[in-house]
Amino acid sequence: MRHEEIKAGENISTVMQFVLLGFSDLPNLQGFLFGMFSVMYLSILIGNSFIIMITRLDPALQKPMYFFLSNFSFLEICYVSVTLPRILFNLWTQDRRISFLACATQMCFFLMLAATESILLSVMSYDRYVAICNPLHYPLSMNPTKCTQLAVGSWLGGVPFELGQTCQIFSLHFCNSNKIDNFFCDIPPVLKLACGNTSVNELYVYAMAILLAAIPFMLILASYSKIIATVLRLPTAEGRAKAFSTCSSHLVVVVLFFGSASVTYLMPKSTHSSITDKLLSLFYTIVTPMLNPMIYSLRNKDVIVALRRLLVKAQCHPLTYE
């Protein structure tokens, strides 16, 4: 396929489309990659849908912790659907073109959902903090109204900031090339195409990273420092083990998400390599959402017990057809 180039000096108004290079440097693996990403997408959809279903149906899981987990699973489905269908389309058709508007839209939704994930993870850590450190106040502090407000705040909190960041980036001039050396419209590879001084844009990226990633991450660390101190004071080993098992899955997800994303967005643009960008992007856009259902279900005894109850109920009441 012939990739279209943008001549140096052209105005951004003439840029009608970009080209997502993605995995075009692996021509012999296109079929394999399509199959692999299809399986990953299906596993993400099925795994997270399963968590949503089981937290809605099982009466024992009608708690704030699982209300937020259900929100988180739905978020992961939305988050991965911003990028993976486009990857599959590009691999299947070998048409890697994406319009200027579609690229901006993809980046905007990706950034907004990433901000939602960051805030929601901090809300989930706050829920665990109240449950373990202030159990007597938990029913009042995390009542249904408060939980709904926290969930809505998580979904909407990053929208104005990321909408502004997307508008700022796509108001730049792109004069050297229109080839995005990644599989979706992410900030680092798009900024690489901009001509002129992009230091203001990079500062804005750092500011958003501090506001929507670093601050939530610090709140999570503060919550878990209090949680660990409280757990270590519990009188029984069984109580400590139960508290740690409840929190460990959340901590693993936090480390996976914030670790890979922070390297991508906090490194200076000049130090980015396309291979590093692609690997890190794959990790926090696809691999982490795929692992989350397994992490939460395998590390959470309540979810395992609820699964057993659901399976027993299905065996006792099989579907009958006339």
pLDDT digits (tens, 9 = 90+) for 46-82: 989 988 988 888 888 889 989 999 999 999 999 999 9
pLDDT attached to residue 146 = 95
- Whether 87 has a pLDDT exceeding 50, the answer reads yes
- Whether 319 has a pLDDT exceeding 70, the answer reads no
Instruction: Give the C-alpha distances (Å, rounded to integers) separating 19 from 1, 116, 193, 236, 273.
Output: 11, 28, 11, 59, 18
Q: Where are the domains of the chain?
A: 14-316
DSSP string, 103-116: HHHHHHHHHHHHHH
Phi and psi of 21, rounded to 5°? -65, -35
Superfamily of domain 14-316: Rhodopsin 7-helix transmembrane proteins (1.20.1070.10)
Angle between the N-to-C axes of helices 301-316 and 288-298, in degrees from 0 to 180, rounded to the nearest 10 = 80
- Whether 22 has a pLDDT exceeding 90, the answer reads no
CB atoms within 10 A of CB 177: 18
Average pLDDT of the chain, as a whole number:
83
Q: What is the pTM of this model?
A: 0.85
What's the rounded mean pLDDT across residues 203-207?
89
- Whether 83 has a pLDDT exceeding 80, the answer reads yes
Most confident of 4-8, 102-106, 182-186, 293-297: 102-106
pLDDT attached to residue 314 = 66
Tens digit of each residue's pLDDT (9 = 90 or more) over 95-141: 999 999 999 999 999 999 999 999 999 999 999 899 888 989 999 99
